[in-house]
Amino acid sequence: MKKIASLLFVSILGGILTLGSYKIFFDDENNPVITQDSTSQHSFIPVSNAPAYGTNADFTAAAEKTVHAVVHVKNVAVFKGPRSMWDLYNNGTAGGRAVQGAGSGVIITPDGYIVTNNHVVDGASEIEVTLNNNETYKAEVIGADPISDIALIKVDANEDLEYIPFGNSDNVKLGEWVLAVGNPFNLKSTVTAGIISAKARNLDPYDRSPQSFIQTDAAINPGNSGGALVNINGELIGINTAITSPSGSYIGYAFAVPSNNARKIVEDIMEYGNVQQGILGIRGGSVDPQTMSELNLKTSQGVLVGDVTSGSGAEQAGIRQNDVIRQIDNVKINKFSDLTGYINTKRPGDQVMVKLDRDGQSKEVRVTLSKRDSYQIPSIGLEVANATSKELKSIGTSYGVKINNTLNENLPKEELVGTIITEINNESVSNIREVEDILEKRRSGDPIVITYIDRSGSKQRMIWR
Residue of 342, 97, 444, 75 lying closest to 225 (CA atoms)? 75
3-state secondary structure 377-446: ECCCCEEEEECCHHHHHHCCCCCCEEEEEECCCCCCHHHHCCCEEEEECCEECCCHHHHHHHHHCCCCCC
Active-site position among 119, 286, 312, 370: 119
SS3 10: helix
CA angle at 312 for the pair 293 and 275, rounded to the nearest 5°: 105
Q: Residue 138 forms beta bridges with which residues?
A: 128
Would residue 42 show up in a list of annotated catalytic residues for this protein?
no
Query: Do residues 258 and 169 touch, judged by C-beta distance below 8 A?
Result: yes
Residue of 255, 198, 253 lying closest to 225 (CA atoms)? 255
Residue 220 amino acid letter: I
CA distances from 42 to 166, 173, 174 (A): 28, 17, 17
Query: Cβ–Cβ contacts within 10 Å for residue 92, how many?
Result: 10
Would residue 286 show up in a list of annotated catalytic residues for this protein?
no
SS3 262: helix
Which residue pairs from 330-336 have beta carbons closer than 8 angstroms and sit at least 24 positions apart in sequence?
Answer: 331/170, 333/301, 333/302, 333/303, 334/200, 334/286, 334/301, 334/302, 335/200, 335/202, 335/207, 335/286, 335/301, 335/302, 335/303, 336/202, 336/207, 336/284, 336/285, 336/286, 336/303
Q: Where are the beta strands (DSSP E) in 271-407?
A: 278-279, 282-286, 303-308, 324-328, 331-332, 351-358, 361-368, 370-371, 374-377, 382-386, 401-406
Query: Do residues 67 and 132 touch, judged by C-beta distance below 8 A?
Result: yes
Say how far apart CA 183 and CA 103 lie, in whole Å.
7
Say how far apart CA 304 and CA 70 lie, in whole Å.
40
Active-site position among 145, 149, 323, 357: 149
Please say whether the dihedral angle defined by the alpha carbons of residues 105, 381, 387 and 323, taken in this order, is positive or negative. positive
Would residue 373 show up in a list of annotated catalytic residues for this protein?
no
Active-site position among 104, 148, 225, 370: 225
Residue of 172, 199, 170 lying closest to 342 (CA atoms)? 170
Residues identified as active-site: 119, 149, 225
